[in-house]
Amino acid sequence: MLRTRITEMLGIQYPLLQGGMQWLARAELVSAVSNAGGFGFLTALSCATAQELRDEIHKTRDMTDKPFGVNISMLPVLMPGDLTEAFVDLVCAEGIVAVETAGRNPEPYVPRLKEAGVRLFHKVPAVRYARKAEAVGADAVIVVGFECGGHPGMDDVPSLIVLPKASQELRIPVVAAGGFCDGRSLVAALALGAEAVLMGTRFMATKESPMHDNFKQWMVNAQETDTMIVERSIRNAARIMKNQASRTVARMESEGATLADLLPVIAGKVGREAYLSGDIDMGTIACGQVVGRIAEIKSVQETIEDIMNDARVSIERLACRMSD
């Protein structure tokens, strides 16, 4: 059921992908997604060195014999200490099935990935970047809508517009991201031309997600209005949960703060401390609007089973209406 070019390309049962999530998409979560028939991306950004990422890949392989990938998030411009080269070399050497890249043009890495047989899934927030990704040799494009947790780009265009437009224009398969959490939204994505959905926020709120329960409880209680966009002033818009830290960032930006001023609040390592300590007001924590549709913390297996059952019901309901 629901075979697409993406399920064929990745050798998976369901068109359900788990996107990169710094600190959270580690071996436990990624292996659970892949074991349940989806495809998880380990997040290189959670690792301080390529050696650490190699260990995490091996740990994941001990926990699943199913395929999984690696997310390599890049800063918009190459900075000193950038580990992208080392991460790309590692995924090629390790024979990883697919990488999810994001942040800047992956073109310099395409020849190496192709030679090693690693599929390139590039994640973009706008149709013009999707076209570019196809032109430089990506195997698939993940398009994120404005609803998404993390970086929605600077154009504020939601999934309902960016997804059908990208899938109509591109020849390579398109993966939908931003606002998906259940079977009915999966069916809607497929109807709009996607060949899989990629979710972050939904998998963030699962039993296997390695964050303090305080965050999971916050997510269960949160509404779709409980996220906000910050970091527009530094052209790195990010959708995050509303908390003390996000309000501080918004105030600092309105007062003209620079990147250097903001860093002590927005740095990734603050988020890591927050996840561990359970202090939900500490750190800027990525979270999508779809949090308002999440009512329960389930295991990854239950989450995926429920999505696929709900998808079947949605398809049957539509078929019934067609024949009425």
Ligand X SMILES: Cc1cc2nc3c(=O)[nH]c(=O)nc-3n(C[C@H](O)[C@H](O)[C@H](O)COP(=O)(O)O)c2cc1C
Q: Considering only residues 12, 42, 45, 308, which one is a binding residue for ligand X as defined by CB under 6 A? A: 45
Taking the C-alpha atoms of residue 128 and residue 155, their distance in angstroms, rounded to an integer, is 11
Q: Of 255 and 294, which CB lies nearer to ligand X in the complex structure?
A: 294
Kindly report the backbone phi and psi dihedral angles of residue 142, in degrees, each rounded to the nearest multiple of 5, phi listed first: -105, 120
- Tell me whether strands 39-43 and 69-73 are parallel, antiparallel or unpaired: parallel
Q: For ligand X, which stretch binds (CB under 6 A), given 13-21, 59-67, 248-256, 308-316?
A: 13-21
Q: At 288, which helix (H) or strand (E)?
A: none
Q: Considering only residues 15, 19, 69, 125, which one is a binding residue for ligand X as defined by CB under 6 A? A: 19
The one-letter code for the residue type at 295 is: A
Please report whether residue 102 would count as binding ligand X according to CB under 6 A.
yes
Please report whether residue 185 would count as binding ligand X according to CB under 6 A.
no
Which tokens go with 18?
């788990």
Please report whether residue 22 would count as binding ligand X according to CB under 6 A.
yes
b/e code 126-147 from CB counts within 10 Å (16+ = b):
bbebbebbbeebbbbbbbbbbb
Q: Of 69 and 149, which CB lies nearer to ligand X in the complex structure?
A: 149
In this structure, what DSSP letter does residue 284 have? -
Q: Considering only residues 71, 185, 246, 303, which one is a binding residue for ligand X as defined by CB under 6 A? A: 71
Q: Of 72 and 262, which CB lies nearer to ligand X in the complex structure?
A: 72
**Cα Rg, the chain, nearest whole Å:** 19
Among residue numbers 79 through 98, which ones bind ligand X (CB under 6 A)?
none
- The distance of closest approach from Cβ of residue 66 to ligand X in the complex, given in angstroms and rounded to an integer, is 19
Please report whether residue 204 would count as binding ligand X according to CB under 6 A.
yes
Please report whether residue 177 would count as binding ligand X according to CB under 6 A.
yes
Taking the C-alpha atoms of residue 317 and residue 90, their distance in angstroms, rounded to an integer, is 46
In this structure, what DSSP letter does residue 312 have? H
Taking the C-alpha atoms of residue 193 and residue 135, their distance in angstroms, rounded to an integer, is 19
- The distance of closest approach from Cβ of residue 198 to ligand X in the complex, given in angstroms and rounded to an integer, is 6
Please report whether residue 43 would count as binding ligand X according to CB under 6 A.
yes
Please report whether residue 290 would count as binding ligand X according to CB under 6 A.
yes
